[in-house]
Structure 1
């Protein structure tokens, strides 16, 4: 799960060298249009987040991937994958993703999400994968629907902000 090739993407576990790319993507106001927390405020903040993601890989054996096109493996254009997240006091396996605006509209989030679901239901034998999305983030909602997620409720996860929509996808039934 640390290094995976899809049709167009190279997905690899994040490492300390990804700090600049992480800050470029998560520090961009455009990629935070629906995020009440706003962009990452500094490269130092991105480094702390990256360290936490790397710790997640060490602890759980899965986590956030750095995504690049297979023909340009040194150019990170997004981040995403699986994490353990708190959903109102309940830990859930969470799918998340964020790509640079230049990568939007190409189906890359769906391609990454499909691989994350294969890992979740295959390698991890997870019964369910959840995802949180802001109600106005229609592009992300469309990705989740394409991946077979269904609306599963609401979560008041950020004070003074509208509740997040919670989506869930259950493991396929054994044949």
Structure 2
């Protein structure tokens, strides 16, 4: 599976993020409830959301994989979620450290349904189908144990914990997960950007 094709999972549909998704991305990323773990991350302008779309397009153009637009699939619909509803973004982008960054941002109305795990598993499978030579990583704040659990379910393990560079509340640390040991420039970049 590549993100260049519409990929149907059991309950989700993935497609490449495009400029046409900008308003939907902004709708999720500007929702303060989406940023419970890092309130300062909330998007206040569409330009911030445009960078999400642009980064996904760049990763896809240069590395054949980039974050997806995530919508409810036919098997995921119910009375509160209709098939085709945009619920967020997810997948992987290539980082400047030349490791994959696994991430997702979903509307809080969809939390608790296992969608993040489905996205993470599909992203790991997409990367491994392309090549298993590049590390898959995830950066998580310590006040977000649910995201740490998703990383572990996707086959990553914690390889570092320490101070975060994010503008997080006092006492919150950063955690880095990876599917393999990391070192050198890659680990340094991740630590500087957790």
Please tell me the TM-score bracket, short chain as reference: 0.7 to 0.9
Paired residues in the alignment total 167
In structure 2, the CA distance between the partners of 1:49 and 1:144, relative to structure 1 (3 Å rule), is closer
Higher helix share: 2
Structure 2 alignment gaps of length 5 or more: 75-81, 181-194
Q: Identify the residue that residue 9 of structure 2 maps to in structure 1.
A: 6
Could you give the per-residue CA deviations for residues 6-42 of structure 1, whole angstroms, max 9, x where no partner exists?
1111111101111111111111111111226420111
Q: Point out the more displaced range, 64-73 or 102-111.
A: 64-73
Aligned-residue CA RMSD (Å)? 2.0
Q: Residues 14 and 50 of structure 1 are in contact (CA less than 8 Å); yes or no, is this contact kept in structure 2?
A: yes
Match of 1:45 among 48, 68, 91: 48
Q: Identify the residue that residue 151 of structure 1 maps to in structure 2.
A: 158
**TM-score (normalised: structure 2):** 0.77
Q: Point out the more displaced range, 132-141 or 38-47.
A: 38-47
The alignment partner of 1:91 has SS state of: coil
The alignment partner of 1:68 has SS state of: strand
Match of 1:15 among 13, 18, 28: 18
Could you give the per-residue CA deviations for residues 32-59 of structure 1, whole angstroms, max 9, x where no partner exists?
1122642011123212331232122112
Match of 1:61 among 52, 61, 64: 64
Higher strand share: 1
Question: How much does 1:80 deviate?
Answer: 0.8
Q: Identify the residue that residue 165 of structure 1 maps to in structure 2.
A: 175
CA distance in 1, matches of 2:166, 2:9: 38
CA distance in 2, matches of 1:57, 1:13: 8
The alignment partner of 2:161 has SS state of: strand
